[in-house]
Structure formats: C-alpha cells, structure tokens
Structure 1
Amino acid sequence: MVNKATSESKRPKAHSLHIGLNEVSAAHYEGWTGPLAACEFDAHDMAALAKAQGIKSSLLITKKATRAQVLAAIRKAAEALVSGDFFFMTFSGHGGQIPDVSGEEEDKLDETWCLFDGQLIDDELYYELSRFKAGVRILVLSDSCHSGTVVRARVPAAATPEQRPRIMPRPVALRVYAGHKAFYDKLQSDVAKAAGGRVEDPDTALANVTVSTRLTAIVKKFSPSLILISGCQDNQFSMDGNHNGAFTEQLLSVWNNGGFKGSYASFHARIRAGMPPSQSPNLFTLGPAAAFLKQAPFAV
C-alpha cells in the first residue's frame, strides 16, 4: 500500500505571483502616475487561472507592488522550490527604460518593469530568476512594453481612451533616471557584482529581444528552465484595455478555461495568431527548456 504522506511529498509544488499596477507613485516617477485601467484585472484573472490549476498564488496589486515586496516574493519562491517544481509569475503594467551602465555598449538601454515605488531592472530580474534551483520550471507572462532601442519604429497603433500603450513615455523615463541616477546606477553595479562580474545580457530577463549569439554565455549559466511570453515584440507596444490588456485577453480566450489542448509552443502560436499585426507576442526561453516547451500550459 502506498503511503499517502510519501505520495504527497513527492508531488511537485507550485507557487505563483501575480503583479498588476493601474498606477505608480508620483513621488518616485517625477510627478507621473501612469494611469492604466486593466492591469489589476489582469492580475486577478491570472491568479484565478492559477488557482483553478491547483497552484498556490499571491497577488501584489498597485500600491503593494513595491520593489521590496516583489523581490521578497521571488526570493521566497526560489528558496522553497526544488527540481520538478513550478513557479508562475505574471506582470501587467508599464514597461520602462534606464541607461545601461553595466553592459558593454555605452548607448544600450536596460528594460524595466515599473513597480509602484521604483523600477525593477532586467539585470535584477535575470539574477533573481537565475537563483532558482536546477530543474525548477519557471513561466513568466509579461503584459507590458519594453524596448532595447531609443527610437521606436512607429507610434502606437489604435491608441484610444480604451486602448493605452503600457509604456512609460521616454521624456518621463529620462526625468526619472535623472532624478534617481545614483540609485539605478548602484543597482546595476550591485547586481553585476553579485552575479560574479558584468551582466553580459540583462535584456533576456524580460524577453523582448531577438535571439542572438550574445545569449550563449548566459544560457550556459542558467540552471532552471524558463519560458517567458511577452505581450509584444521589441518595436511594438502592449495595449491596455477596459477589462484586460490585449495580450492577456487573447491568452485567456485561447486558454478557454482549460479547454486548450497543446503545448506551450502551440499555446504561444495560437495567441499570436489572434493578435493584430501591431502587437505580436514574443516567446523566449532560458536554460534547459526544450522539454518544458512541450508540456501543457500551467501544468504542475
């Protein structure tokens, strides 16, 4: 007879974290609050999806979505999960940029998530995710804008009161960086030192990059298996809506309350096929993710 306690202990654990910000603190963002409408809905809906899959979830909504709280939640999961376990994280809010002071190119920009009291830079996110144990599966869904270039290819398409681009405007980004330069420069320096040297490719953490030979060294150092699906390509915008962001709305439609049958790869393809040409969700992986890509989405 199989011991029930032993059986339970062998079952993979699953934790999820859902972050949604309809605004940010004017005190940190130089008077800008970046009002959005659907990000909190996105976080609640993704938490409900996780719960339906038997995943223990937590929510960080707007004022609670601080740098300290988000980092603490990621670190708690990294400490608790072991090989075979599953960590699911979603972010809905503005994407931003700061000048990269730890990389190789002087004019390079680091992508960020705009949390309530400050930006989480991609250097930090990459480093925190790299601290998960080998064999842990990590799924990150990011419904926000990020760009590695100073000048975008075009202005946002279909920008209406109901559809707002989820990006911190460039002039605001420059003011925020100027007002907090020492803070962000030190963050990048500290992360580089903690990672054992220069962070060669921090942009992979937020996944709005194209595959390049520069990623090879980073992949070799990344022990967990990561799948990251983002709301748009590097030269596009993720659009807000009234109830969900455009990416999250399409994802939930394809998921169909668990009716979707297929792999992560086909899940991404179906989501992308249903989006307009102006917003094409990106799929990126780090670590040994080939087997993970073949699994059913959100499966523990």
Structure 2
Amino acid sequence: MSKRALTIGINDYPGTDGDLSGCINDAQDWAAVLGGKGYAVTSLLDEAATRDAMVDKIGDLITGAAKGDSLIITYSGHGTWVPDRSGDEVDGRDEALCPHDIGDGKILLDDDLRTLFDQRPAGVRVVLISDSCHSGSVTRGDEADLDPGLPRARFLPPASWMSLSALAATRSRPSSLMGGMTRAGGDLLLAGCRDTEFSWDTQFRGRPNGAFTYYAIKSLHTLLPGASYQQWFRAISHYLPSTRLPQTPQIFGSRTARHFELFS
C-alpha cells in the first residue's frame, strides 16, 4: 500500500483583481503534515498550477494508484462557476476551481474532476480537501489566533474573468460549489464552508492562511491516535464558524468513509 498526496495553492491570479495571500502557505502546510504522515507529496504552486498541470497531476495520482493505496488532494485558491452546458445542474451552473491561468478562461469544472476521479482503480481511497469559495453569518468559535482586520473571500466572481456575453447566458440562481464537488467522486470531501458561505483568506499571528486550513491543521494536535475523519471534523467545528469567520466546514461521504482512520 502506498500513500501519495497532491497539494495545490494559488495566490496569484493574473488578469483578475482576485489575488490571495494564504494559499501557498496552506499548500506547504498540508505538504508538511501529510509528509509527516508518510505520504509522498507533490505540490503545484502559483504559476505551476495551470489547468493543464492540475489535470495532469490529478490524473497521474489517480491512474497510478493500486488497490489499498491512499490518495489525498488539497486545493487552496478561488472557486467560481460557469453556465451549465450539459444540463446536469439544477441551478443552471457548473461549479469550478480556479487555476492560475483562469485569466485566459481556463477553469477546472466539477465535471472534469468527476471524469478524473472515475478513473480510480477499485480499492483506492481518495480524500479531497477544498479550502475555497461562498456567504453567511453566525456568532461563535475561538478567534484567539486571528489577527485584526477583514479577511478576503476565496470566491472569484465570474464577472472578473468571464466575457460579458458568457455571463449574460447564466441563470440568476444561487451557485453551489460544494454541491458540484460532492458529485466529483472520491470517498470523502472536506470543504471549508457551506454552499451559501465564503471560505476566508486571512492571517494568524502575522502569517497568511486560509481559515479552514489553519484550524484543520491546528485541530489535528487535539486528536488521539487512531482518530477518524469524523472526529477530526468535529474538532475543526470547535473553531469554525466564528464571529469574524462566518464559514461552516462540511464533510461529505458515506458513514463508512467518515469513520476511516485519519490519513490511513
């Protein structure tokens, strides 16, 4: 059995006004954590994380796996949406991750991810961790580590990169990035927020990070050996949502998958 991971972090979005600050740190932090858990880690950062490179690396990771292997993919960057062309989306929109070259119209659709994940051999475990996208409000959580100031949403409005003619073709209904991601495949999806919320790009003790990534990694240190993904998710929920970070982490997957031993 082998354990391999791909961590993706994109701060720089040329051709848009949507640059972020914490995504590279997120990807490097995930790489350090997963490397310490015995995973062979590959990373795509900023200009290396083009759409073609993301497709190639995810494809290589999945098609190169064998029964019993464990794969983890982490993504930190913007989420967005485009008009649905296949008719499989009830809201009229396909959800997407934003590669570095989104300014050239390059996106990674939930449909693309589904096609990639459908190639996995039987018996291969796949976990996707997405720290991206969407808005809401609550008042609780522990904010002791959070620096003052307003965080930035990890959602790139289509108007910032899509042509006006393409944008005009969309239906005026709310988008649901996580709804699309749950249909992409894999055993588990851990997401930074609900469909109706944003994941926040912010700063902790002087260092930029995604809020979900920061607290997900911090909460690992509170777990006992042999803890499950469900127990990890509950530990993350101690921190999020909070007053200044109104995002509610989500976990999607079967009951069996939720009770997999963490990083096994």
CA separation of 1:260 and 1:34: change in aligned 2, threshold 3 A: farther
Q: Distance in 1 between matches of 2:89 and 2:180?
A: 18
**SS class of match (2:80):** strand
2:211 corresponds to 1:250: no
**SS class of match (1:273):** coil
Query: How far 1:163 moved relative to its partner?
Result: 0.9
Q: Distance in 1 between matches of 2:73 and 2:164?
A: 26
Q: Distance in 2 between matches of 1:205 and 1:104?
A: 10
CA separation of 1:107 and 1:138: change in aligned 2, threshold 3 A: closer
Question: What's the counterpart of residue 226 of structure 1?
Answer: 187
Within a 5 Å distance, the mapping from 1:265-280 to structure 2 comes to 265-276=230-241, 278-280=246-248
CA separation of 1:161 and 1:168: change in aligned 2, threshold 3 A: farther
2:12 corresponds to 1:23: yes
Q: Is the 8 A contact 2:82 2:158 kept in 1?
A: no
Q: Is the 8 A contact 2:223 2:232 kept in 1?
A: no
Report which stretch shifted further, 246-255 or 273-282: 273-282
Residue 240 of structure 1, aligned match among 201, 206, 220: 201
Query: How far 1:256 moved relative to its partner?
Result: 1.6
Residue type of the partner of 1:206?
Answer: M
CA separation of 1:105 and 1:51: change in aligned 2, threshold 3 A: closer
Q: Distance in 2 between matches of 1:177 and 1:206?
A: 26
**Aligned pairs, number:** 237
Question: What's the counterpart of residue 69 of structure 1?
Answer: 53
Q: Deviations over 1:113-139 (max 9, x none)?
A: 110112101100111111101111001
TM-score, normalised with respect to structure 2: 0.80
CA separation of 1:258 and 1:19: change in aligned 2, threshold 3 A: farther
TM-score, normalised with respect to structure 1: 0.71
CA separation of 1:203 and 1:248: change in aligned 2, threshold 3 A: closer
Residue 51 of structure 1, aligned match among 35, 45, 48: 35
Q: Distance in 1 between matches of 2:50 and 2:236?
A: 30
Q: Is the 8 A contact 1:163 1:239 kept in 2?
A: yes
Structure 2 unaligned segments of length 5 or more: list them.
138-145, 170-176
Residue type of the partner of 1:237?
Answer: F
Residue 168 of structure 1, aligned match among 153, 156, 160: 156
Question: What's the counterpart of residue 140 of structure 2?
Answer: none
Question: What's the counterpart of residue 117 of structure 2?
Answer: 129
Q: Distance in 2 between matches of 1:126 and 1:204?
A: 12
2:181 corresponds to 1:206: yes
Q: Distance in 2 between matches of 1:70 and 1:176?
A: 27
CA separation of 1:274 and 1:153: change in aligned 2, threshold 3 A: closer
Q: Is the 8 A contact 1:125 1:205 kept in 2?
A: no
Query: How far 1:259 moved relative to its partner?
Result: 5.5
**SS class of match (1:206):** helix
Q: Is the 8 A contact 2:8 2:75 kept in 1?
A: yes
Among all aligned residue pairs of Structure 1 and Structure 2, give the percentage whose two residues are the same amino acid.
31
Residue type of the partner of 2:181?
Answer: L
Q: Distance in 2 between matches of 1:205 and 1:46?
A: 23
- Computed over aligned residues only, the root mean square deviation of the Cα atoms, in angstroms, reads 2.8
Query: How far 1:296 moved relative to its partner?
Result: 2.2
Bigger helix share: 1
Q: Distance in 1 between matches of 2:59 and 2:38?
A: 21
Structure 1 unaligned segments of length 5 or more: list them.
1-11, 27-31, 147-151, 182-201, 208-214
Query: How far 1:142 moved relative to its partner?
Result: 0.3
Report which stretch shifted further, 35-44 or 67-76: 67-76
Higher-Rg member (1/2):
1
Q: Is the 8 A contact 2:82 2:96 kept in 1?
A: yes
Q: Distance in 1 between matches of 2:234 and 2:62?
A: 29
CA separation of 1:83 and 1:63: change in aligned 2, threshold 3 A: same
**SS class of match (2:247):** coil
2:115 corresponds to 1:141: no
